[in-house]
Structure 1
Amino acid sequence: MGRRILNDALRTMVNAERRGFATAKLQPISGVMISFLNIMKHRGYIKKFEVFDPHRVGKITVELQGRIKDCKALTYRQDLRATEIEKYRTRMLPTRQWGYVVVTTPNGVLDHEEAIRQNCCSFYGGGR
Structure 2
Amino acid sequence: MARDIVADFLSHLTNVRRKGEDKTAFFPVSNLIIKLVEIMKREGYIKNYRLVDSSRGKIIEIELSEYFNEANAIKPRFPVEYSELEKYEKRYLPALNFGRLILSTSKGLITNREAKEQKIGGVLIAYVY
TM-score range, shorter chain: 0.7 to 0.9
Which residue in the other structure is 1:115 paired with? 115
State, as a whole percentage, how many aligned pairs show the same letter.
30
Mapping for residues 77-116 of structure 1, pairs under 5 Å? 77-116=77-116
Mapping for residues 38-53 of structure 1, pairs under 5 Å? 38-53=38-53
Inter-partner Cα distance in structure 2 for 1:3 and 1:96: 32
Q: In the TM superposition, what is the alpha-carbon distance from 1:10 to its structure 2 partner?
A: 1.1
1:68-112: per-residue Cα shift (whole Å, max 9, x none)?
A: 221100132211111111121112212224111111111100000
Number of positions where the alignment pairs a residue of Structure 1 with one of Structure 2: 126
1:124 is the counterpart of 2:102? no
Inter-partner Cα distance in structure 2 for 1:77 and 1:10: 15
Is the Cα contact below 8 Å between 1:4 and 1:75 reproduced in 2? Answer: no
Is the Cα contact below 8 Å between 2:101 and 2:124 reproduced in 1? Answer: no
Structure 1: gaps of 5 or more residues = none
CA RMSD of aligned residues (A): 2.0
Which residue in the other structure is 1:19 paired with? 19
Inter-partner Cα distance in structure 1 for 2:109 and 2:98: 19
1:30 is the counterpart of 2:30? yes
Inter-partner Cα distance in structure 2 for 1:53 and 1:117: 37
Structure 2: gaps of 5 or more residues = none
Inter-partner Cα distance in structure 2 for 1:125 and 1:112: 9
Structure 2 length-normalised TM: 0.86
Inter-partner Cα distance in structure 2 for 1:39 and 1:109: 8
Could you tell me which amino acid in structure 1 is paired with residue 113 of structure 2?
E
Is the Cα contact below 8 Å between 2:78 and 2:124 reproduced in 1? Answer: yes
